[in-house]
A and B are shown apart, each in its own frame.
Chain A
Amino acid sequence: MADSQTIGNRTRGMGEIVDVAGKVTETAPFGNTLAEMAKTRPEIVGLTADMGRYSDILPFRDAHPDRFFNVGMAEQNLIMVAAGLAKSGKIAYCTTYSVFITRRAYDFVAIACAHSMANVKIFAGMPGLVNGYGATHQATEDINMMRGIADLTIIDPCDATEFKQVVRAVADIPGTVYVRNLRGKVPVELPEDYRFEVGKAKVLREGDGEIGIISTGYMSARGLDAAKMAESDGKNVGVLHVGTIKPFDTAGVIAFAKRYKQLIIAENHKTTGGLATLVIEALYEAGIQKPLVKIGLADSFFECGSQEYLESKYAVDIPRFMTAIRDGV
């Protein structure tokens, strides 16, 4: 498969976040962070299922070749081998595309890993609509699937600042963790003093109580961008980043939601079964009703194309945020 960097009017290949123009970025934060931390943690091993290059794990392979295993295009075996390593004292970081982890190796994640609280850390590549190869490569329902597994931690990081902390933190989170990987040139969006805490939603921006964005993954960065742009219209929009999907920070989300008249819930995922569903469940159970807009993907399969084309067509881009902020509910 070509690693096409062509953008514009054609399919774009292995997904990076597209709107990085003018932003500070870090290259391959996953592999570089893992390679560095593994220097002092000999129990760390790395695995891939023929997706080393496209998951950014190669810096780890190059630094620690004896601790790197490529099992080939065999995702079930990827998870089994990782589980076996973990059950013999290793911390197994494994990588391939999100679609292949979730749709193909689900039983192995649930039983071989999560059920045993095995120290397997899954970095799932190209979650959501982050590439142009169509439904075969777009894991638009991965959060919905994975949150059905008990004892599994799920993290959807916002930017390079948070993601590097996540790569380190998961080593000490007991059991199996599913992380939505950020690959390639990853923008730096959050301030240096931002601190990831597993299970804690973080207020990135406090607004004036009119409109609050609750978001996850890099959609939180997009929400921040939209909030800044809305300042010129005299709007002061709040942003809550839900970096950990599971365990879900019910208290943090409710506290934020209570402070705003209208909510925008944004995720790089279907609007069914993901963050929006979790937020609405939490609010309903707390007896809170708010007007809200969901930004995310429909319950559908998606076509091939350039990232810009797809994000515009399926309405998960900045203009969609601006419309939601301007028009409200």
Chain B
Amino acid sequence: MRSNFPPATANLEELGARALNLRRKMMHMASGKGEGYIAQGLGIADCLAAIYFHELRHDPARPDWPDRDRFLLSTGHYSIAMYAVLAEAGYLSDDELPTYGLNGSALPMSTFDETVGVEIVGGSLGHGLGQAVGMALALRLDKSSARVFCEFSDGELDEGSTWEAAMGAATFKCDNLVALIDCNGIQADGPVTVAIEPVADKMTAFGFETYEVNGNDMAALVDALGKCREPNGKPKAIVLRTTPGFGVPTIMARDRAHFVRVGNDEWDSLIEELERENG
């Protein structure tokens, strides 16, 4: 095994508390704005907590540390979740978060790499995994033990570039790369429309060592991440079955979950709902 790996055991209680904090931050960021990608953010919160507070080797005081593990958010519109976890980890100040999506804010509605802690420009979908392959190759050339984690979504499997990158990862034996595929079943026009399933089987066929978990089950997440540490010549993939809006039942029940619209009078009750459900 490589050196400096994350601990073998995780404090699930602490990770659960971190995930709840991320959801709180997201609700406050979206509050009063009427809209935003809150459903996806709430759905990916558990994964981000597991990554940033258990699996990732990083240092908020040194965001350019060459030997850091990289986390790439390919779905730039999940920025609300990214900013939440970067604040929770200490890259951003909590004071900045309410500017999310406002004119002139350093926290735009889609992620750009000018923001500290953000590795790539996300949002033009299908751009993440290929760049993760390039970073994995660079780290290998530098004989670094750092790894690359790349989040992308089931909708991004529509993009052919994702599959080009998947083949590249296997061809170059990028065993220091972990793909985190957020399968939440939605895209801009509604439910995922293209026949992307079976995602896990496809990733396996493309040469990945693949695990499939409930992406809102912290124990399952941590277990799968632990299995992805093996330097066995294969890139890894975790298919995350997540629920949009997880933690806030009213948002979970919304028909059009991709871009949730919330009335100004609703936010207080939704935040109360989050606390009640997760208290």
A74, A88, A107, A112: which has the most chain B beta carbons within 10 Å?
A88
The docked-state distance in angstroms from the alpha carbon of A81 to that of B172 is 11
Which of B21-29, B162-170, B221-229 is the interface stretch?
A: B162-170
A interface bracket (residues with beta carbon within 8 Å of B): 20 to 34
Which secondary structure dominates where chain B touches chain A? helix
Q: Of B119, B124, B134, B139, which is within 8 A of A81 by CB?
A: B134
The docked-state distance in angstroms from the alpha carbon of A19 to that of B167 is 41
The docked-state distance in angstroms from the alpha carbon of A115 to that of B161 is 19
Among residues 49 to 94 in chain A, which have CB atoms less than 8 Å away from a CB atom of chain B? Answer: 66-67, 69, 71-72, 74, 76-77, 79-90, 92
B160 within 8 A of A: yes
A45 within 8 A of B: yes
B133 within 8 A of A: yes
B interface bracket (residues with beta carbon within 8 Å of A): 20 to 34
A111 within 8 A of B: yes
> Are A88 and B167 interface neighbours, CB within 8 A?
no
Q: Of B70, B113, B161, B167, which is within 8 A of A80 by CB?
A: B161
**Also in contact, A112 and B120, with CB within 8 A (given A80-B131, A84-B130):** yes
> Are A77 and B168 interface neighbours, CB within 8 A?
yes
Among residues 148 to 165 in chain B, which have CB atoms less than 8 Å away from a CB atom of chain A? Answer: 160-161, 164-165
**Also in contact, A111 and B124, with CB within 8 A (given A81-B133, A84-B137, A116-B113):** yes
| A42 and chain B: residue at smallest CB distance | B141
The docked-state distance in angstroms from the alpha carbon of A79 to that of B126 is 12
User: Cβ of B66: which chain A residues have Cβ within 8 Å of it?
Assistant: 88-89
Which secondary structure dominates where chain A touches chain B? helix
The docked-state distance in angstroms from the alpha carbon of A13 to that of B138 is 35
User: Cβ of A77: which chain B residues have Cβ within 8 Å of it?
Assistant: 130, 133, 161, 164-165, 167-168
> Are B119 and A87 interface neighbours, CB within 8 A?
yes
The docked-state distance in angstroms from the alpha carbon of A77 to that of B131 is 8
> Are B134 and A108 interface neighbours, CB within 8 A?
no
Q: Of B127, B138, B139, which is within 8 A of A112 by CB?
A: B127
> Are A81 and B121 interface neighbours, CB within 8 A?
no
User: Cβ of B131: which chain A residues have Cβ within 8 Å of it?
Assistant: 80-81, 83-84, 87, 112
> Are B135 and A67 interface neighbours, CB within 8 A?
no
B94 within 8 A of A: no
User: Cβ of B137: which chain A residues have Cβ within 8 Å of it?
Assistant: 45, 69, 81, 84-85
The docked-state distance in angstroms from the alpha carbon of A71 to that of B137 is 12
User: Cβ of B138: which chain A residues have Cβ within 8 Å of it?
Assistant: 45, 84-85, 87-90
Nearest chain B CB to A317's CB is how many angstroms away?
Answer: 39
The docked-state distance in angstroms from the alpha carbon of A79 to that of B112 is 18
The docked-state distance in angstroms from the alpha carbon of A85 to that of B131 is 7
B142 within 8 A of A: yes
A71, A72, A81: which has the most chain B beta carbons within 10 Å?
A81
> Are A76 and B168 interface neighbours, CB within 8 A?
no
B48 within 8 A of A: no
User: Cβ of B124: which chain A residues have Cβ within 8 Å of it?
Assistant: 107, 111
> Are A111 and B121 interface neighbours, CB within 8 A?
yes
B190-206 interface code vs A (CB 8 A; 1 in, 0 out): 00000000000000000
Among residues 83 to 138 in chain B, which have CB atoms less than 8 Å away from a CB atom of chain A? Answer: 112-113, 119-121, 124, 126-127, 129-138
The docked-state distance in angstroms from the alpha carbon of A303 to that of B27 is 59
**Also in contact, A83 and B113, with CB within 8 A (given A66-B141, A77-B168, A111-B121):** no
> Are A67 and B161 interface neighbours, CB within 8 A?
no
> Are B172 and A69 interface neighbours, CB within 8 A?
yes
The docked-state distance in angstroms from the alpha carbon of A187 to that of B165 is 38
**Also in contact, A81 and B113, with CB within 8 A (given A87-B135, A88-B139):** no
B171 within 8 A of A: yes
Nearest chain B CB to A292's CB is how many angstroms away?
Answer: 39
User: Cβ of B139: which chain A residues have Cβ within 8 Å of it?
Assistant: 88
Nearest chain A CB to B34's CB is how many angstroms away?
Answer: 28
> Are A71 and B168 interface neighbours, CB within 8 A?
yes
User: Cβ of A112: which chain B residues have Cβ within 8 Å of it?
Assistant: 120-121, 127, 130-131
> Are A85 and B134 interface neighbours, CB within 8 A?
yes
> Are B141 and A76 interface neighbours, CB within 8 A?
no
The docked-state distance in angstroms from the alpha carbon of A71 to that of B172 is 9
Beyond contacts A88-B70, A111-B121: 13 other A-B pairs, Cβ-Cβ < 8 A, are A45-B137, A74-B164, A80-B134, A81-B168, A83-B131, A84-B132, A84-B133, A85-B135, A87-B135, A88-B66, A88-B139, A108-B130, A116-B121
The 5 lowest CB-CB distance pairs between A and B, nearest first, are A84-B134, A80-B130, A88-B138, A77-B164, A84-B131
Chain A residues with CB under 8 Å of chain B are: 45, 66-67, 69, 71-72, 74, 76-77, 79-90, 92, 107-108, 111-112, 115-116
Some 27 contacts from A to B, beta carbons below 8 A apart, are A71-B168, A71-B171, A72-B171, A74-B164, A74-B168, A76-B164, A77-B164, A80-B131, A80-B134, A80-B161, A80-B164, A80-B165, A81-B130, A81-B131, A83-B134, A85-B134, A85-B137, A87-B119, A88-B70, A89-B66, A90-B141, A107-B124, A108-B130, A112-B120, A112-B131, A115-B112, A116-B113
